[in-house]
Amino acid sequence: MMCCVKRALPRWPDMVLIAPPPPVVLPQPVFARVQSGVSLVRMYDPTRFNAQPTAFRFTGPYKRFDHQREVNGKPALTTDRGIMYAGDTFSGCIVEVFGDRKIIEVGTWEVAVIEPTRELKLMDLRGAGAMKAGTVAAVCKDSNHKFSQEWSRYFYETTFAYQTIDGLLFQNAHNEETAYAFYERCASDFTVVRSGKLSNPALSNEIKLIAAAFNMDIAI
């Protein structure tokens, strides 16, 4: 007669723990250099925060790696901390802006190709980079931006451990393409190659290809 023995299975946590800073181990940050003249893509809506191709947003925190300080627990206009996001590709920017709803609504959005005018030093959070910095890779993907904002402020302020960096390099949360969060330290170090409205018919075919590649709809 065969006897079946029941074994207690190990209890695994439901999700990765993103602990707040400071790190519990000595950071060994990984740095990346963005060379002068490298083309980056940026999407922005000029009806929000007076956004422009190379304008930094000084109101926050709102987005993933915003390093502004809250005032009375709420986002506020700051004078000393600005942020600007960009990507390596048009597709990466499209999915970051519209990926949550899965519907591309061009509306008043615009897109620009920009280039740094000097070499920029970024902390690399891709791959093992986040753990090297003292946190975990989930900090780049978690829907609760409170954790990533806390870490961004810590990276920005703790120059003895992380040096003086111009921003962060990470994989976006939607399709893991490379994304950038630039601090105001490099606000004067970008130039615009070209810019225009997302509704430009010349971009229509490319937007359709991106929508098909990432299972998104396009609003009519």
Residue 197 domain flag:
yes
Task: Give me the domain span that covers residue 140.
Answer: 31-218
Which pLDDT value is given to residue 16?
Answer: 86
Residue 88 domain flag:
yes
Which pLDDT value is given to residue 1?
Answer: 43
**How many domains is the chain built from?**
1
In the block, residue with structure tokens 């003895």: 160
Pull the structure tokens for residue 76.
């506020």
Residue 154 domain flag:
yes
Which pLDDT value is given to residue 14?
Answer: 56
Residue 11 domain flag:
no
Residue 127 domain flag:
yes
Which pLDDT value is given to residue 10?
Answer: 47
Residue 170 domain flag:
yes
- pLDDT tens sequence for the chain (220 residues): 444 444 444 444 557 899 999 999 999 999 999 999 999 999 999 999 999 999 999 999 999 999 999 999 999 999 999 999 999 999 999 999 999 999 999 999 999 999 999 999 999 999 999 999 999 999 999 999 999 999 999 999 999 999 999 999 999 999 999 999 999 999 999 999 999 999 999 999 999 999 999 999 999 7
**Measured distance CA(169)–CA(125) in Å, rounded:** 6
**Measured distance CA(136)–CA(16) in Å, rounded:** 8
Per-residue burial over 38-69, b = 16 or more CB atoms within 10 Å of its CB, e = otherwise: eebbbbbeeeebebebbbbbbbbbeebbbbbe
How many CB atoms within 10 Å of residue 10?
5
Which pLDDT value is given to residue 9?
Answer: 46
Residue 162 domain flag:
yes
